Amino acid sequence: MLLAKGYEVHGVLRRSSSFNTDRIDHLYQDPHDPGARLFLHYGDLSDGSGFRALLEQVEPDEVYNLGAQSHVKVSFHQPEYTADVDALGTLRVLEAIRAYPSTGREVRFYQAGSSEMFGSSPPPQSEGTPFHPRSPYAVAKVYAYWQTVNYREAYDLFACNGILFNHESERRGETFVTRKITRAATRIKLGLQDKLFLGNLDAKRDWGYAADYVEAMWLMLQQDEPDDYVIATGQIHSVREFVERVFDRLDLDWREYVAIDPRYFRPAEVDALCGDASKARKKLGWQPQVTFEELIERMVEQDLELARQERVLRENGHSVPLRGIASVWGHGA
Q: Does position 266 bind ligand GDR by CB under 6 A?
A: yes
Q: CA separation (Å) from 37 to 2, 5, 27, 302?
A: 10, 11, 10, 27
- Candidate residues 55, 65, 70, 97; the one interacting with ligand GDR per rule CB under 6 A: 70
Q: Does position 233 bind ligand GDR by CB under 6 A?
A: no
Among 74-82, 89-97, 110-118, 274-282, the segment contacting ligand GDR (CB under 6 A): 110-118
- Give 99's contacts (C-beta < 8 A, 6+ positions apart): 52
- Candidate residues 120, 121, 150, 200; the one interacting with ligand GDR per rule CB under 6 A: 200
Which entry of 116, 168, 170, 310 is annotated as an active-site residue?
A: 116
CA angle 78, 84, 85 (to 5 degrees): 90
Helix %, strand %, coil % of the chain (to 5): 45, 15, 45
Indicate the Cα dihedral angle 235, 327, 118, 157, nearest 10°.
-100
Q: How far is the CB of 56 from ligand GDR (least distance, A)?
A: 30
- Candidate residues 111, 166, 186, 193; the one interacting with ligand GDR per rule CB under 6 A: 166
Candidates 142, 165, 127, 166; CA nearest to 90 is 142
Q: Does position 69 bind ligand GDR by CB under 6 A?
A: no
Q: Does position 264 bind ligand GDR by CB under 6 A?
A: yes
Which entry of 110, 137, 151, 229 is annotated as an active-site residue?
A: 137
- Candidate residues 9, 12, 55, 72; the one interacting with ligand GDR per rule CB under 6 A: 72
CB 236 within 8 A of CB 123: yes
158: helix, coil or strand? Answer: strand
- Candidate residues 199, 208, 226, 288; the one interacting with ligand GDR per rule CB under 6 A: 199
Known active-site residue 64: no
Known active-site residue 114: yes
Separation CA 305–CA 301 (nearest Å): 6
Which entry of 64, 70, 110, 114 is annotated as an active-site residue?
A: 114
Annotate each residue in 114-153 with x if it binds ligand GDR (CB under 6 A) or - if it does not, as one string. xxx-------------------------------------
Separation CA 244–CA 231 (nearest Å): 26
- Give 70's contacts (C-beta < 8 A, 6+ positions apart): 86, 137
Known active-site residue 106: no
Tally Cβ neighbours within 10 Å of residue 191: 10
Burial class (CB in 10 A: 0-12, 13-18, 19+), 171: middle
Nearer to ligand GDR, 95 or 269 (CB): 269
- Candidate residues 10, 189, 205, 245; the one interacting with ligand GDR per rule CB under 6 A: 205
Catalytic residue set:
114, 116, 137
Binding site for ligand GDR (CB under 6 A): 70, 72-73, 114-116, 165-166, 175-178, 180, 198-200, 203, 205, 239, 264, 266, 269-270, 333
